[in-house]
Chain A
Amino acid sequence: MSHPAHRRPEYHKINKDLFVLTYGALVAQLCKDYEKDEDVNQYLDKMGYGIGTRLVEDFLARSCVGRCHSYSEITDIIAQVAFKMYLGITPSVTCNNSSRNEFSLILDKNPLVEFVEELPAGSSLCYCNLLCGIIRGALEMVHLAADVTFLQDRLKGDSVTEIGITFLKKRDEKKYRWKK
């Protein structure tokens, strides 16, 4: 199978502000529609899942990364290639446990929250939960089950924004081809 260098020769650019405002309007509308923050988080995750399952095809076609052999390689590629390609940021990766299946992405700069001030105290809304859903959906399309949540959130007063990815063990321990 030939690997095309680029699927599309040029990247179509849109204004980042339009995208950020669209996402903000989406979250604000969800907050109005659903009273509980947990429901909003859940729906954001579901929407992100739908996006992720489709986005991974685009990502694989554009980035042509090779096969990954470990979870840490996968996380590195998510941080350094995928985030860079779609959001323009490069989060740093840390490994949280010795069995090498829990990782954290530390985002120092998050373009999605550019215009949002701090959430009211006690709010459990994960504003960027869409990102968690996207990562989870994308990983599932390449046959990797993972749990993705926000561990820390600057909007809630923490010092950094941290996304935790926990790769779940499959019953059979076969290594799957991760062509991300």
Chain B
Amino acid sequence: MPLIPSLWESKANRSLEFSCLRPALGAGAGSCVTSGGSRDAARAGPPKLAVCIAVIAKENYPFYIRSTPTENELKFHYMVHTSLDVVDEKISAMAKALVDQRELYLDLLYPTEDYKVYGYVTNSKVKFVMVVDSSNTALRDNEIRSMFRKLHNSYTDVMCNPFYNPGDCIQSRAFDNMVTSMMIQVC
């Protein structure tokens, strides 16, 4: 998916014009999408319920976005992008409340008519955003948490690769496989 730098540069100037964004199929392995939010709902665990998964750096650019191919990926990108505001709100709210949590599982960020967006933030301010299908009601909180934990573990493995420079797009095959295992399989 071609990155639209302007979209991600300042969230304050978020433009709703995404016509220039060509939706890229989620088949790309770990392509870094800096354009609009993509919804990455990755549901880890046996039920493959994630629709879109995104890993966002602390500078608020994504270095991994993947969504199921059949959907309009642009829509997902936009959703993830808009969810970053909610993430920031929650983080500052938690900081104010002096909640001393090691890992901030942000829970449901916001629901839309079709999807629910979940967030997770690490101490290094790397955010994981996951979009799941609302129609799947069997999804429980601890499943989402375990999915985020798996994501976080895979992410630390990617970071430990000596040939990976922090800030690059994630192109690790192992990470891709793990994300695929969590996403809805679309034929």
Q: Which residue of B lies closest to A25 (CB)?
A: B162
Q: Are A21 and B174 in contact (CB under 8 A)?
A: no
Residues 146-187 of B at the A interface (beta carbon under 8 Å):
157, 160-163, 172-174
Q: Are B160 and A115 in contact (CB under 8 A)?
A: yes
Q: Determine whether the beta carbon of B173 is less than 8 Å from that of A118.
A: yes
A28 CA to B160 CA, complexed, in Å: 12
B172 and A21: CB pair below 8 A? no
Whether the Cβ atoms of B161 and A24 lie closer than 8 Å is yes
Interface pair A115/B161, CB less than 8 Å apart: yes
Taking residues whose C-beta sits less than 8 angstroms from the other chain, chain A's interface range is 10 to 19
In the assembled complex, A33 has its CB within 8 A of some CB on chain B = no
In Å, the complex CA distance between A28 and B173 comes to: 19
Nearest B residue to A116, CB-CB = B161
Q: A117-B174, A118-B173 are in contact. Are A31 and B160 (CB under 8 A)?
A: no
List 28 interface pairs A-B (beta carbons < 8 Å), by A numbering. A17-B160, A20-B160, A21-B160, A21-B162, A23-B162, A24-B160, A24-B161, A24-B162, A24-B163, A25-B162, A27-B162, A28-B162, A28-B163, A31-B163, A114-B160, A115-B157, A115-B160, A115-B161, A115-B162, A116-B161, A116-B162, A116-B163, A117-B161, A117-B163, A117-B172, A117-B173, A117-B174, A118-B173
Q: Report the separation of the CA atoms of residues A78 and B160 in the bound assembly, to the nearest whole angstrom.
A: 29
Q: Which A1-43 residues have C-beta < 8 A from chain B?
A: 17, 20-21, 23-25, 27-28, 31
A114 / chain B contacts, CB cutoff of 8 Å? 160
Could you tell me which A residues sit within 8 Å of B by CB distance? 17, 20-21, 23-25, 27-28, 31, 114-118
Q: Find chain B residues with CB under 8 A from A27 CB.
A: 162
Contacts of B161 in A (CB 8 A): 24, 115-117
Apart from A17-B160, A115-B160, A115-B162, what are 8 other A-B pairs with CB-CB below 8 Å?
A: A24-B161, A24-B162, A27-B162, A28-B162, A28-B163, A115-B157, A116-B161, A117-B161
With the chains together, A83 CA to B163 CA distance in Å?
A: 26
A17 to B126, CA, bound (A): 21
B173's closest neighbor in chain A, by CB?
Answer: A117
Q: How far is the CB of B170 from chain A (nearest CB, A)?
A: 11
In angstroms, how far is the closest chain A Cβ from the Cβ of B183? 20
Nearest A residue to B157, CB-CB: A115
Pick the 10 closest A-B CB pairs, nearest first. A24-B162, A115-B160, A28-B162, A115-B161, A117-B172, A28-B163, A25-B162, A116-B161, A117-B161, A27-B162
Q: Which chain B residues border A117 with CB–CB below 8 Å? A: 161, 163, 172-174
CA distance A48 to B173 in the complex (A): 30
Residues in B whose Cβ lies below 8 Å from that of A21: 160, 162
- For the complex, what is the distance from the CA of A104 to the CA of B97, rounded to whole Å? 61
For A114, give the chain B residue with the smallest CB separation. B160
Residue of B nearest to A119 (CB): B163
Bound CA–CA A27/B174 (angstroms): 21
A131 CA to B160 CA, complexed, in Å:
21
